[in-house]
Structure 1
């Protein structure tokens, strides 16, 4: 069975969403005879040993079989540049964080992302955190982030043929393309 052109994978922290996404993109790249591309939205924020360790573990798990493109803000441009090869975007939540911290127009940037996704000729798997299932943040910035993440996830779910929710490493299908 071929992979849909656009897949969104949602889940909580340490749910297994990146690992599942890597498997899907690796399979799509193998079927296409291509090298999988990892579009990394992580931006170092200074001296953060825990985030550095997460980054190291992600890189080690992927190994040398992937080509990595760092795009903490320029995600639509990176998707355009890699339109013909299977890509993994990890993750939309960090991309949103970067947009917020840089004071960029989230609506405009999300529209650009939607257009880049629609123009693709190869599969893409998007990873995002589902942050709206927990406590209400106690700061205005935290509440804005939670709200913007929910809106971004809704728009990406509408733009994708397949949407999965990962919990405890197990995928739950929320949306799947129909036959044909």
Structure 2
């Protein structure tokens, strides 16, 4: 996605050689036109799979997952990070560390929204170490749903997340792969 690469080069901030700040594109502000293009691209890449639901982890994955679900014409489910007073007491829960937040949180999905008859497409904004992704994959497996694949907007391929999930035999489609942030420069994988 050349449009996405151009926007990353123009608007992203390199915080460290491991952390890329994408607040103007994905994590704080959302460009609806770009987001819909990303959703259409994921829907195109997984068109042959007959997805029944799109799933993501709140909150930064929601816009692209929504665009993908809208394009596919299926519901969007998102794993919550905070338990509320009305949360399902029987929710599927997994404890996951967050690379960028530096904390451990619980993610949860109500059992009523993931069933054994579901074929789900997991969409997320960024993958670094893949801890949140592995946590949601465990929830999907415990629900008995079939994981069709994982769509990632930005994969930091110099970190292990995408690779380790592929090694599990899971299809991973990344719109953009960043090979390095060394020297304050974004280098895309070819």
When the two structures are superposed, what TM-score results if normalisation uses the length of structure 2? 0.40
Q: Which has the higher helix share?
A: 1
TM norm structure 1: 0.42
The structure that is strand-richer by fraction is 2
Higher RCO (C-alpha under 8 Å, 6+ residues apart): 1
